[in-house]
Amino acid sequence: MPFPTRTFLLAHFLLIALAGRSQTVGDTTTPGTTRRSTYNSGKHIHWFSGKEQIDLIDIARDIFLKHPSLRTDTTGKKTPGKLYPALLPSAEYTLETGLAFDLTGSLAFYTGDKAEDNISNIYLASVFTQKNQILMPLQGNIWTKGNKYNIVTDWRFEIFPQNTYGLGTLTTAAEADSITFDYLRFYSTLLKTVGKDFYLGLGYDVDYFYNVRDLSHPPPGQTTPFQTYGVTPKSVSSGPTFNILYDGRRNEINPEPGWYADLIFRPNFTFLGSDSNWQSLLIDARRYLHFPSKSQNTLAFWTYDVFDFSNHTPYLLLPSTQSDAYENMGRGYIGGRFRGKDMLYLEAEYRYGITSNGFLGGVVFVNAQSFTEPVTNRFEAIAPGWGAGIRIKLNKFPRTNICLDYGFGLHGSQGIFANLGEVF
């Protein structure tokens, strides 16, 4: 869960208990293959050199165990049901949250033993802040054996007072309007394969906002953009989703070269409990390739576009900065900094290795976001973002990285953004 202007203090290395036993694990280098995990006590662990892949668990074993050994792989078969957990505790401070404590975890596993079987992942985070803010998302991307079905969930609970800045890309930081709300989300989708890496699906989305208030007090006769759009103490949106998915990735945690494209149409209906009838279309497309072609470095592209087909979409559900499922888009800006009826977003990131053993890596990235203006309903400005970051291998078998990035935006906007697994 990214927050700008934060300071992260990694609390400790967890999962050291995994070092005490053998297990079947995912491949450290090539998606779709796995090997049997063993512990070679005859090898000395080199933290920042050598060709043997290492991660934080290996380093924790090297620090805390009397006779450290390197976890290696020896076979070429996946074992369905084996669990590959990762946990990232941190403390942080932001102007928006004050002191906050964050615990993020993921659980990866395979349901099949074939090379083309995708890895499943469940993600859970809990954030508690000095300003009585709470965020608790539970998200899953689960594949059945042979990738026959894909089950996608996004459930969350939030109590999160924040600033909003009005609609469009031309807004300024001086227009900040303090609001507060409680939020429950229940998104569930079932997709079925209809061809290699191609899926059709049906889902159902429910958004429930309550205790919604505008905390600003404008002068008499004036209103904030939030009030102008229309503030109600509660808001319900309810409706099905129709999904078309192409997913050539085998590992969403750290994708290798391939394509990903997701098209979601969401109509909301009053007869299903929604406060109003409204519709939206989401286009999420990504491309990954090795660059240079014979290296393990990855050049990744991402577009995330949302189009609204009515004038009744609740303000808090309009597309905005960091409104994607994992709140990662728009590094360089605070969440919710820009918002509008329609949104176009594009990002490119270059991921490269720093150490030969895969423990450390780096990224550089650039992105651009644009939102339609409220009067003209046209895209009139672009808000670029850019930055760089470091990658620390937390678990080499599902290839889970701790991602720490520093991003910049226009007019002095900047901050640190953290993630468990790659940003996209």
What domains does the chain contain, in order, with CATH numbers? Answer: 9-420 (2.40.160.50)
Output the average pLDDT for the chain.
86
pTM of the model: 0.85
**What span, in angstroms and rounded, lies between the C-alpha atoms of 375 and 288?**
37
Angle at 255 between CA 252 and CA 258, to 5 degrees: 110
Beta bridge partners of 301: 287, 348
164: exposed, middle or buried (Cβ count in 10 Å: 0-12, 13-18, 19+)? buried
- Confidence at 104, pLDDT banded by 50, 70, 90: confident
Q: Quick one: CA dihedral 119, 330, 258, 298, positive or negative?
A: negative
C-beta neighbour count of 2 within 10 angstroms:
22
**What span, in angstroms and rounded, lies between the C-alpha atoms of 116 and 347?**
28
- Confidence at 160, pLDDT banded by 50, 70, 90: confident
Q: Quick one: CA dihedral 60, 63, 66, 71, positive or negative?
A: positive
When mean pLDDT is compared across 32-36, 109-113, 340-344, the lowest value belongs to 32-36
410-414 LR contacts (CB < 8 Å, sep 24+): 410/383, 410/384, 411/172, 411/173, 413/4, 413/173, 413/332, 413/333, 413/334, 413/337, 413/385, 414/4, 414/5, 414/332
Phi/psi of residue 56, nearest 5 degrees: -65, -30
E strands, 130-256, in order: 134-143, 149-159, 162-164, 177-195, 198-214, 235-247
List of residues 6+ apart from 285 with CB closer than 8 A: 259, 260, 261, 262, 302, 303
Mean pLDDT (whole number) for 404-420: 90
Q: What is the DSSP pairing of strand 24-26 with strand 149-159?
A: unpaired
Q: Which two tokens stand for residue 217?
A: 């007090």
Question: For residue 398, what pLDDT is reported?
Answer: 86
As a whole-number percent, the residues of the chain with pLDDT over 70 amount to 87
Q: Looking at the predicted structure, is the pLDDT value of residue 226 above 60? A: yes
7: exposed, middle or buried (Cβ count in 10 Å: 0-12, 13-18, 19+)? exposed
Q: Looking at the predicted structure, is the pLDDT value of residue 162 above 80? A: yes
**What span, in angstroms and rounded, lies between the C-alpha atoms of 147 and 245?**
13
The residue among 304 and 18 whose pLDDT is bigger is 304
- Confidence at 76, pLDDT banded by 50, 70, 90: low
Mean pLDDT (whole number) for 264-273: 98
Q: Please name the residue that has the structure tokens 């901050």.
A: 415
- Confidence at 132, pLDDT banded by 50, 70, 90: confident
E strands, 323-399, in order: 343-353, 360-371, 383-395
Phi/psi of residue 275, nearest 5 degrees: -70, -25
Mean pLDDT (whole number) for 122-148: 92
C-alpha closest to that of 90 among 105, 70, 78, 68: 105
